[in-house]
Amino acid sequence: MTALDLSSPVAVVGAGTMGQGIAQVALVAGHPVRLYDAAPGRAREAAAAIGARLDRLVEKERLTAAGRDAARARLLPVEELTGLADCALVVEAVLERLDVKQELFRVLEDVVPDDCLLATNTSSLSVTAIGGALRLPGRFVGLHFFNPAPLLPLVEVVSGSATDVTSATRAYETARAWGKTPVACADTPGFIVNRVARPFYAEAFAVYESQGADPATIDAVLRESGGFRMGPFELTDLIGQDVNESVTHSVWRSFFQDARFTPSLAQRRLVESGRLGRKTGRGWYDHADGAERPEPHTADPAEPPAYVIAEGGLGPASELLALIREAGVEVRERDEDGGTRLVLPGGGKLVLADGRTTAEFRDVVHFDLALDYRGATRIALSHARHTSPAAVAEATGLFQALGKKVSVIGDVPGMIVARTVARIVDLAVEAVARGVATEDDVDTAMRLGVNYPLGPFEWSRRLGRGWAGELLDELHGIDPSGRCAPSLALHQYACAADEREDTP
């Protein structure tokens, strides 16, 4: 099954921001495009807006003037759904309400031919449920574009329970022919991206709600240590707190209130107060003109230790040993069964975040996971109230000697980056185990859909298959509510990497 022929008309129903973006993608690819909106005159206004964006593409030399003129000639706003009767594909981008979408497609079925492919751009509703109202549900598929559709490459091609393989394949190949990167996905709450990404927000909000760190510090640690392009607080301000919370609630409800997807009370209060982010001028941050952005907590300069004693190889943080030597700090190595820590001259111990609290130990300082310790510009440290100031100072001075800014946070088990990555890996592994998507498609979706520095399986290969499960086991032991409970799939995934006896 191949992509739709370029002579085949494509329709977009819903002329808002997303609908306009999808229409522009199909138009630039070479299709005749019909644009419809239920609001009188809205389709014509949207067509004019698309034309203006085509002009800007010409100005930026991304489109020729002849190409723009040809695209404009192929774009036709229509005032009635009957104007879509000759279309080979109709993509819906209307209000995120199941009844509205179902009614639209019921009407469309009486307008378009039986071989017309019908698609929804829903981000949170069930493709199966929307298509369940159709006479021919086999031709119904999800085509989830990401905003802005002309710029972001990812398209989740979602097969509902009744979707024919031929329909899904045609939708997939058409998206690819449009210059997009499609990933195949089964119909599951949140699909790939909005399912696997929930911990990126949830763990940050949980750290904030526990008074572990402020939003600016959490954002900075995830950017400068984790390698994420934006932190969750600034990202949800950009998305809109109401939009982000709505997706979280939808996934949580769809998974029968699974504790791992529990929404944030702090975010609920933001939405209730009308502080929705950039669009209202205030969210986690103040976006008013001239407002000062709060600075992340950064520790004052401290003296580095003269030496450290390395017990064990530091696991995922092993590259630190070379960096410490390069900084002129002596590294003394000592064999220690089960040891993966640095011992400081004053007797304090520096341990990679492992899901335990520092309150469990005497003079232990945890340090957070980094995507790349050499390239990281900030490292978070965590300690308990009874940790000696000398241990904290020596740990701070050590990382400052490596050229890192240091953010000291509260006694947060799993810290910030480590617990976030562990939970993302868990949900990704579970999604693959349940047949939602392949490992490669999950990695592609998370890198392209939300700009993660690595896909979850790429993270896991770097950290070791058992790393996420071990950290989540510790977190679950401290908080048995279930929100950090590792899945059975993650346990099986870790075991598959080890050599096991044939029989128990």
Q: Which residues are catalytic?
A: 123, 144, 156, 194
| Cα gap 174→180, rounded to integer Å | 9
- Nearest to 72, CA basis, from 17, 43, 33: 33
**Beta bridge mates, 160:** none
CA 158/CA 198 separation, integer angstroms: 19
411's tokens:
């006694």
Residue corresponding to tokens 């048995």: 480
Please report, for residues 439, 472, 487, 492, the alpha-carbon distance to residue 433 in angstroms, rounded to integers and kept in the order given.
9, 18, 10, 9
For helices 439-449 and 417-433, the axis angle rounded to 10 degrees is 130
Q: CA-CA distance, 461 to 467, in Å (whole number)?
A: 10
Backbone phi and psi for residue 54, each to the nearest 5 degrees, phi listed first: -65, -40
Q: Which residues, in sequence order, are CB contacts of 342 under 8 Å at separation 6+?
A: 308, 309, 310, 311, 314, 320, 349, 350, 351, 398
Q: Which two tokens stand for residue 13?
A: 């129903």
Q: Where are the beta strands (DSSP E) in 151-258?
A: 154-159, 181-186
Token pair of 141, please?
A: 């598929």
Q: Which residues contact 91 (CB under 8 A, 6 or more apart)?
A: 10, 11, 12, 13, 22, 26, 119, 120, 121, 143
Rounded to whole angstroms, the Cα distance separating 383 from 368 reads: 11
Instruction: Supply the DSSP symbol for 124.
Output: S
- Identity of the amino acid at 266: A
Tokens of 262: 């529990």
